[in-house]
A and B are shown apart, each in its own frame.
Chain A
Amino acid sequence: MWLIYALGGGWGHLTRAIALARVAQRDRRVLILTNSPYAEAAAGAAAVRALPPGATADRTRQEVIRAIGECRPECLIVDTFPRGIGGELAGILAGLAARKVLVARDLNPRYVAAARLREFVAAHYDLVLVPGAGEGLQMGDLPAAFTTAPWLVRSAHEIPDRNRVRTLLRLAPHEEQCVLVCASGKPDELDWYGAVVRELLAAAAPVRLIAAARPPQCPEECWVRYWPALDLFACASVVVGGAGYNTVAECLAWDVPLVARAWPRAYDRQELRARNAGGRVTLVREPPEAARVALDLMRDHRRREPRFVNGAMEAAVRIASG
């Protein structure tokens, strides 16, 4: 059995874990360990052991150790945090009879230096997978590291057809495409996305907001509660979102322009990721600015087809090949 450690807030760690699990579970049992408040999103997509999102750090550390002990995985795949998000893995990895794989998303270099993560990873991990070349600044050159294409929660052949997407987005007959506002991240960031929707509506732009919860400023008719948003990009002329791993990777996969707010995170460097995206991401700060840029970019009415490569496929093969 493979156990994927995907602790951390928001959607990012969980979505990346599901991307791998969906591929890997065809040949073995895979379980995701997460404390994301969005764990229910994985229902039907992968097996999840959900820890309480609001638990104290000590309680979460204890639950993680207990879960790993009970699962006895043949392979432990740790997303982003080599020592565990609370440092709880540092004391157990050496004694764990499992193949250890790190999914090396970009990390705050101050943390990497302070915790001597490169030395730690070299000593404790059998394989390091960098999910997209831009994420490998810290661990990508380790001897055990391999870089794959970005991991996506869908492969190209799984994307719904255009008519289905139009139905899901409730687009009117005259609305060929829309501005897709993807509100991931922390709950207290939701209002920013709601304000962007309000600005776009004031300019009479077709807009849909994809979110687990509706911000007050977003009218009911513009809110679509759907996951994963990647399914819907065929009808997006432009996406407004954060600059987290999944949003950026999904927009690059679809070649749809992203208007992004780089949210501050303790570990993730969203602004750096956006600036390294080859000019496909425009950074903004305030909702009026986001709306103005989105309106300018939505004049591109190209029809996009899903032709992307899902790096999770190669990742699963790399892990399985030992």
Chain B
Amino acid sequence: MTPPLPPNWKCPRRVGFLFPHDCRRTTPVGCPDCQNGQIDDPYYSRADRYGYSRYDYYDDAYFFDFEPSYEPGAPDAGSMDFTEADGADLVEPGGQFENDMTES
């Protein structure tokens, strides 16, 4: 059970697999990232990517033919929602940085 939260509480966790950023939810209840506050660092495993050495292995069951099909009037691939460049706008340096003007 989630303990009572102080007024104006904001979640201090970092979330987001591709673009880590402050969570800032006002309650962990129903949160799909920390699962009701049960996980301290929901995306801790993203650091594990650097140690993974079997990127090229896929079970045969994962292979299938993919044919893009566009509905009439549907947006094509050139108008996707965001690109890698947009990531820069989504990233925030994180709560532990750029707040203390006496650091070095």
Contacts and interface: CB of A to CB of B under 8 A. Distances in A.
A7 B101 contact: yes
B103 interface: yes
Given A114-B97, A266-B97, A9 B91 contact: no
Contact of A244 (B87, B97, B104): B104
B94 interface: yes
B12 interface: no
B104 A268 contact: yes
Interface string A26-46: 000000000100000000000
B104 A265 contact: yes
A12 B104 CA distance: 8
A118 to B, nearest CB: 11
Contacts, number: 65
A52 to B, nearest CB: 10
Interface string B74-104: 0000000000000110011110111111111
Contacts of B97: 108, 111, 114-115, 266-267
B28 interface: no
Nearest to A263: B104
A115 B100 CA distance: 16
B102 A9 contact: yes
B88 A9 contact: no
B96 A266 contact: yes
B42 interface: no
B93 A111 contact: yes
Nearest to A244: B104
Interface of B: 20, 87-88, 91-94, 96-104
Shortest 6 CB-CB contacts between residues of A and residues of B: A9-B102, A115-B93, A87-B98, A266-B103, A8-B104, A60-B101
Given A7-B101, A13-B104, A57-B101, 12 more contacts: A10-B104, A35-B101, A85-B98, A85-B101, A111-B94, A111-B97, A114-B20, A114-B91, A115-B98, A266-B96, A266-B97, A266-B100
6 contacts: A7-B101, A9-B103, A55-B101, A86-B101, A87-B98, A114-B94
